Amino acid sequence: MDPAGPIRYASQNAAALIGYAQTRLTGVLLRDLFPEAAARRLIEQLGSIRQPQPTFIDTLYTASGRHFHLLAHFHDGHHILELEPAESEPPVSLHLLYDLMTTFMERLRPISDPAEAMDLSAREIRRITSFDRVLIYRFDHDWNGHVLAEDGHPDMASYNDLWFPASDIPRQARELYRLNRVRLVVNAGEAPAALLAHTATAGQPLDLTYASLRSLSPVHCEYLRNMGVCSSMSVSILSRERQLWGLITLHHRTPRRVSYQVRAACDFVAQSLSIHLDALEQRQELTERIRVKSLTTGLLAHMAKEERFIDGLRHNGSQLLQLVAASGAAVFFEGTSTLIGETPSEEVIGLLVDQLLVHGREGIFHTERLQEKFPHLDEFRNCPPGVLATSLSEVHRSYVLWFRPEVITTVKWGGDPRKPAEPDARGMRIHPRKSFDAWKETVRGRSRPWLAAEIEAAQDLRSAILTIVLRKAEEMAEMSEELQRSNRELEAFSYSVSHDLRAPFRHIVGYAQLLRESNAGRLDDRDQRYLEKIADSAQFAGTLVDNLLHFSQIGRTALRMRAVDMNLLVEEVRRDAVINLDSRQIEWRIAPMPNVFADPILLRLVWQNLVENALKYTRARDFTHIEIGADLREKETHFFIKDNGVGFDNAYRDKLFGIFQRLHRMEDYEGTGIGLANVRRIIARHGGRTWAEGEIDRGAIFWFSLPNRGELEK
């Protein structure tokens, strides 16, 4: 209402309460209700109020001898004036309330146990108000209320440690409790007075969100009566984010009114308790953050020491579990998983990672009710319900997952929380429960919740790992740039070698031949041998230069991948290799081999080197046996060539594929020592491996692997 204008809304009983002659106050001016001086002062006081929270402004004495406390607030464009009948006993003085509050704060300050702080607050509020029972309860994530402290008359039923379902205080009511911190119900059995509107404002409802005298819903009044409560008061406890943390609820068996000053004192206690609990919680969070920061630093140090940073996590499982107080963990990175502690199977972990990817859950995912998150997946039925997961890559399928086991708990509800519809005179209607005796429920499928500090620890670890990966990528980019520069220099060197070395070697061979021919009659046998050695050495050096150039080009040549018929390729290589070996007895056993996806030109060079080596190192045998075949595996195919030649000492097998590495004398077996190095380089470029096994004078077997086409396409 406009303080100087007509009253737009008024309760139906307002006129009778103040002794006004007419039956309703709507349309009446304030100055016509009270003496001139009192009316003028009231209008001035109302005009200065602009906040939504009710404020005590004056005490009104009527001609009939009654007096009222006047509360006023401003909301939604209206000044709202409330008249509360004053207490019959003398009002509590502000001086006394101040002494009560300072004493309470002195007793609260040294308390470090939240439960003790709430017990003290419940006792203090009951002492201030003289209500029969005071409860303090906190809301959980699902808005169920858990009674954590109680102070009450011995004759009153105890609700301590009981739970009350979220349906007792619906979402709309919780929002009202958040906005209007203190609500008093003097008499739950008293019929509410209707709110009347002036003709000019008819059809425009008045928002009474912040009003102290706003009545409760009939269901809630019935709820209180079923508890044996006639009068109640609630004081909201807000968190530092101004969200509803919990409630302080007061119950009295008979009608009871408390003054605005006492209600303000109770609000002070509630907010002081909130600040104190918040400080204790922040202290605990700080201690926990220090602990997890220390563990995170240790894990990062371990990762820095490892050649592959992810091994720093895999090799320090106990610290990884301690980081978030988990019973199990899985490091899922680059297609492989490492399981630590109590975890589900690798298949279930892979399915869980798939779900995180499909549902677009990036960064951090956490739940203590996994089965409720994915009720359609039977594979998660036996999985630990507590899961905390963090992705390790923005593009790859890499995660660290932590697990917590199921914690079976028994919840004691304040009566059966179910609310069946019951018929009454108006039809089917939800009624509040009539009994509040403890009703026990066993809760399964939940783990201990993840703390904020634990979730932040997972986020910090993720950020650190992504930083490492980014730094590695930058280092790889720098190395790639340096490698490109080196390759350009190598190409220039190769050109120089081709031009500046190959020609002189050809000249040496040519002039040696000319010298031998022009002096054929004058050179003795020794001179002829010298010239022959010069020509052979120069020719070998030229061949070595050619092979070196070929080796360097293999590393730079782009792969031209296509399907290759391995059986046909091996047969062509075998046929070319034995053209001039008709005098040798050779038995070939070539088993059918699968097709592969590779560069056919480079793969031909692999088989040429391997087949020629097998023929070379078996030529001293009267009978040569060479076997070629393949072994198909899940992700790759192993190819082999086996001979019955001179073999080699298996202790030196790792040297075979190195450039210029030879295990036999050049005088016995010709070659430059580059052939097997070419084989290794070609197979490595295809994503495969090379290895060999041998025994002196009992032959050798050479292996190489190629990824199956499905693996290449992943």
Check residues 122 and 309 and name the one with the higher pLDDT. Answer: 122
Q: In Å, how far from its chain's centre is CA 517? A: 84
Mean pLDDT, all residues of the chain: 81
Rounded-to-integer distance, Cα 485 and Cα 489, Å: 6
Phi, psi of 587 (to 5 degrees): -105, 120
Which residue did the predictor score with more confidence, 714 or 485? Answer: 485
Q: Do domains 1-86+189-215 and 306-406+448-461 have the same CATH topology?
A: yes
8 Å CB contact between 18 and 83:
yes
Residue 1: is its pLDDT beyond 60? no
More confident residue, 200 or 22: 22
For residue 357 the two structure tokens come to 């990817």
Span 373-378, mean pLDDT?
83
Q: Is the pLDDT of residue 712 over 60?
A: no
Q: Give me the mean pLDDT over the 41-46 stretch.
A: 86
pLDDT tens sequence across 241-280: 889 999 999 999 999 988 888 888 899 999 999 999 999 9
Q: What is the pLDDT of residue 214?
A: 84
pLDDT at 147: 93
Asked whether residue 227 carries a pLDDT value surpassing 70, the answer given is: yes
Handedness of CA 261, 263, 269, 270 (dihedral sign): negative
CA distances from 49 to 4, 46, 54, 211, 326 (A): 14, 5, 10, 14, 54
∠334-340-343 over CA atoms, to 5°? Answer: 95
SS (H, E, C) 254-309: CCCCCCHHHHHHHHHHHHHHHHHHHHHHHHHHHHHHHHHHHHHHHHHHHHHHCCCC
User: What secondary structure does DSSP assign to 201-247, as a single string?
Assistant: GTT-----TT-SSPPPPHHHHHHHHHTT-SEEEEEEEE-TTS-EEEE
Is 306-406+448-461 in CATH node 3.30.450.270?
A: yes
Q: Lowest-confidence range among 9-13, 156-160, 379-383, 532-536?
A: 532-536
The predicted-structure confidence for 394-423, as pLDDT tens digits, reads as follows: 667 788 899 999 888 777 777 677 655 455
Between the CA of residue 435 and those of 225, 417, 501, what are the distances in Å?
11, 10, 104
**What integer pLDDT is reported at residue 148 of this predicted model?**
94
Instruction: Give residue for tokens 């220039």.
Output: 492
Question: What is the pLDDT, as a whole number, of residue 710?
Answer: 59
**How far, in Å, CA of 589 to CA of 693, rounded?**
19
Judge whether residue 221 has pLDDT over 90: no
Q: Is the pLDDT of residue 290 over 90?
A: no
pLDDT of residue 421: 43
How do strand 586-590 and strand 624-632 relate by DSSP bridges?
A: parallel
- pLDDT of 111 strictly over 50: yes
What does the alpha-carbon distance between residue 278 and residue 272 come to, in Å, rounded to a whole number? 10
| 640 vs 361, higher pLDDT | 640
pLDDT at 293 over 60: yes
Q: What's the DSSP call for residue 658?
A: S
Structure confidence at residue 570 (pLDDT): 92
Percent of the chain with pLDDT over 70: 80
**Going by C-beta distance under 8 Å and a sequence separation of 6 or more, which residues neighbour residue 130?**
256
Q: Which CATH class is domain 1-86+189-215?
A: alpha beta
Q: How far apart are CA 294 and CA 317, in angstroms?
A: 15
pLDDT at 439 over 80: no
- pLDDT, residue 15, reads 82
Q: How confident is the model at residue 594 (pLDDT cuts 50, 70, 90)?
A: very high
**274 token code pair:** 């909130």
| Least confident span in 306-320, 321-335, 507-521 | 507-521
**Spatial distance between the Cα atoms of 643 and 656, rounded to a whole number of angstroms:** 16
As a whole-number percent, the residues of the chain with pLDDT over 90 amount to: 19
Model pLDDT, residue 714: 47
Q: How far is CA 203 from the centre of its chain?
A: 51
CA distances from 429 to 226, 227, 421 (A): 16, 19, 5
DSSP 29: B
Q: What is the mean pLDDT of residues 170-187?
A: 89
The band of 428, judged by pLDDT with boundaries at 50, 70 and 90, is very low
H/E/C letters for each residue in 351-391?
HHHHHHHHCCCCCEEEECCHHHHCCCCHHHCCCCCEEEEEE
The pLDDT confidence band at residue 565, using thresholds 50, 70 and 90, is very high
Sign of CA dihedral 130, 131, 132, 138: negative
Of residues 668 and 95, the one with the higher pLDDT is 95
Give the residue extent of every domain in the chain: 1-86+189-215, 306-406+448-461, 410-441, 558-712
Strand, helix or coil for residue 43: helix
Whole-structure pTM value:
0.61
* Choice among 383-392, 447-456, 516-525 with the minimum mean pLDDT: 516-525
Higher pLDDT, 373 or 482: 373
Per-range mean pLDDT, top range of 138-147, 352-361, 464-473? 138-147
The CATH architecture to which 558-712 belongs is 2-Layer Sandwich (3.30)
Higher pLDDT, 434 or 34: 34
Report the C-alpha gap between 315 and 588 in whole angstroms. 48
Q: What is the pLDDT, as a whole number, of residue 566? A: 92
pLDDT digits (tens, 9 = 90+) for 646-685: 888 777 676 777 654 555 555 545 555 577 777 888 888 8
**pLDDT of the residue at 659:** 57
pLDDT level of residue 217 (50, 70, 90 thresholds):
confident
Name the residue with tokens 């960064």. 363
The end-to-end CA distance of the chain, in Å, is 72
Between 46-50, 143-147, 302-306, 546-550, the lowest mean confidence (pLDDT) is in 546-550
Phi then psi for residue 97, to 5 deg, are -65, -35
How confident is the model at residue 621, as a pLDDT? 87
d(CA 317, CA 274): 39
Closest CA to 346 of 337, 355, 356: 337
Residue 494 pLDDT greater than 80, yes or no: no
Residue 196 carries which DSSP code?
Answer: E
DSSP for 568-579 reads: HHHHHHHHHHTT
